[in-house]
């Protein structure tokens, strides 16, 4: 059975997503609309009632929404440094889309509350990133964005060479480690092997 269904949000439901992720406003209309449909559909397909209830990660009570917005702001700041210091050309629309959508499937990967959640059966058979990529492809989002999302997890076996992928990687781990450091889990930056 498929883990998600695409659902068109009504105006009020779309506003909830747009208010949760303020940088959606910087995307072109068509892409913003698809991103809103994707987030609404993923939460509506999950065991969580609202986006607000979705935890960032296993053992972390922090909101996924805050993590996404942290990654967006860190990624945009890194893009500014890369452009100013290294003359790196970054496609800001593509970058913003992958920053906003990289953890799209997380509502399907756990269930419960932010304080007390556990992994869903699908989390044991489909790697993080894949369900998000399937939905984004189904919505007609371009393959560059889908590829960055499906390969962003730390256990991915391959990642593309584009500067947007580089920036997502470090923005994501930077923001994730801030939250993981407040738990009993070992943050990525302290794994010294």
Which spans of this chain sit near Fe ion (rule: CB under 5 A)?
A: 103, 172
Nearer to Fe ion, 18 or 62 (CB): 62
CB of 67 to Fe ion, least distance (A): 6
Nearer to Fe ion, 12 or 191 (CB): 191
Residue positions counted in the chain: 193
Residue with tokens 């909830």: 16
CB of 8 to Fe ion, least distance (A): 26
Angle at 56 between CA 53 and CA 59, to 5 degrees: 100
CB of 152 to Fe ion, least distance (A): 6
Q: Which are the contacts of 5, defined by CB distance < 8 A and separation ≥ 6?
A: 41, 44, 45
Nearer to Fe ion, 9 or 75 (CB): 75
CB of 12 to Fe ion, least distance (A): 27
Estimate the share of the chain in helix, then strand, then coil, as percent rounded to the nearest 5. 60, 5, 35
Q: CB 127: neighbour CB atoms within 10 A?
A: 14
Nearer to Fe ion, 14 or 150 (CB): 150
CB of 44 to Fe ion, least distance (A): 20
Nearer to Fe ion, 27 or 72 (CB): 72
Backbone angles phi, psi at 139, to 5 degrees: -85, -5
Nearer to Fe ion, 53 or 172 (CB): 172
Residue with tokens 């399907």: 108
Cβ atoms of 104 and 38 closer than 8 Å: yes
CB of 176 to Fe ion, least distance (A): 6
DSSP string, 112-148: E-SSSEEE-GGGGTS-TTHHHHHHHHHTT--HHHHHH
């Amino acid at each position: 059975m498929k883990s998600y269904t695409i659902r068109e949000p009504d105006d009020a439901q779309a506003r909830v997503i747009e208010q949760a992720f303020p940088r959606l406003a910087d995307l072109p209309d068509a892409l913003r609309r698809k991103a809103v449909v994707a987030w609404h559909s993923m939460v509506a397909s999950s065991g969580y009632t609202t986006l607000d209830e979705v935890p960032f990660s296993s053992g972390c009570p922090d909101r996924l929404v805050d993590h996404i917005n942290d990654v967006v702001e860190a990624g945009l700041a890194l893009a500014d440094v890369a452009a100013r210091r290294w003359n790196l050309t970054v496609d800001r629309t593509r970058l913003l889309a992958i920053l906003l959508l990289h953890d799209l499937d997380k509502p399907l990967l756990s269930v419960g509350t932010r304080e007390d959640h556990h992994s869903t059966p699908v989390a044991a058979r489909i790697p993080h990133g894949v369900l998000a990529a399937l939905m984004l492809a189904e919505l007609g989002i371009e393959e560059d964005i889908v590829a960055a999302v499906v390969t962003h997890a730390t256990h991915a076996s391959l990642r593309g060479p584009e500067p947007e992928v580089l920036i997502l990687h470090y923005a994501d781990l930077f923001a994730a480690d801030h939250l993981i450091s407040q738990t009993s889990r070992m943050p990525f930056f302290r794994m010294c092997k």
